[in-house]
Amino acid sequence: MKAKYINPFTDFGFKKIFGEEASKPLLIDFLNALLPLTNKIIEITFKNAEQLGQTEADRKAIYDIYCENENGEKFIVELQKAKQNYFKERTIYYSTFPIREQAEKGDWNYKLKAVYCVGILDFTFDDYENEPDKNNFIHTIKLKNQNGKVFYDKLTYIYLEMPNFNKTEDELQTRLDKWLYFIKHLEDFQTIPSIFKDEVFTKAFEKAELAKMGQAELENYEMNLKIYRDFKSTIDTAFDEGKIEGKIEVAKTAKKMGLSISEIAKLTGLSEREINNL
């Protein structure tokens, strides 16, 4: 059966639903459902998704979505389609950019606004294979001391393991449950389930409906979907043991698919120089 709605795990689909100006109400609703904020987000501003290091030797950070709320708090939202070596390290590195950009010239008291890094993962962490919580789909990480007490509460990492989210429609209880069910099953829907009848989700389905898109958007999406399927298949095989050979094989495949050097660097962890030399 032909899909009626876009696949949100493609770059095109993810940014169509959450990364456009018209998508702000959807992103705000999703973040409010996910994050442990004292005050709900009222407004957000999209910021430059490409962050440069302080020197030419520093590596770049290219976010899927980077935004700021009305209180100056920063939010990085990343979609990760397949396993990647050092993915956690990359998200931690990425979080240093919104921290450093808050520095003020001259005298400054070092007071920082909170930074939240959200990773929506189309795979599971191997770390939890033998842990009691291996079936949990959400992992919230903060800096803590040896007694488990939070040392610094303005830096939060949240990883959503989508393959572990297995709730049925009847089991959905929270707003976050609904959003994760929407993201995981959107491409399979032919009609809008009754649980999604409110204004925000109605808007989300409208933005995701393929029939409402122009020819140029449809062609862009179809190309994106093919890249997603081919690349995920390649990466799942090549990254099996996390070897450098696997990284190189994935990078070669990505170059053939037409991905940019910066995109390949983000996906594989290889440097741009290494990729250019392939």
**For residue range 11-24, what is the model confidence (pLDDT) as tens digits?**
899 999 999 999 99
Within-domain flag for 54: yes
Q: What is the mean pLDDT of residues 49-59?
A: 60
pLDDT of residue 57: 47
Within-domain flag for 224: no
- Tally the domains of the chain: 1
Q: What is the mean pLDDT of residues 25-34?
A: 96
Of the listed ranges 4-18, 45-59, 197-211, the one predicted with least confidence:
45-59
pLDDT of residue 128: 53
Within-domain flag for 247: no
Q: What is the mean pLDDT of residues 70-82?
A: 90
Q: Which residue has the tokens 């990284």?
A: 247
* 96-125: pLDDT as tens digits: 999 999 988 888 889 999 999 999 998 887
* 236-277: pLDDT as tens digits: 565 554 556 667 777 777 777 667 787 777 667 677 888 888
Domain extent for 152: 11-211
Within-domain flag for 142: yes
Of the listed ranges 126-130, 157-161, 214-218, the one predicted with least confidence:
126-130
Within-domain flag for 171: yes
Within-domain flag for 3: no
Within-domain flag for 264: no
Of the listed ranges 16-25, 43-52, 80-89, the one predicted with least confidence:
80-89
Within-domain flag for 22: yes
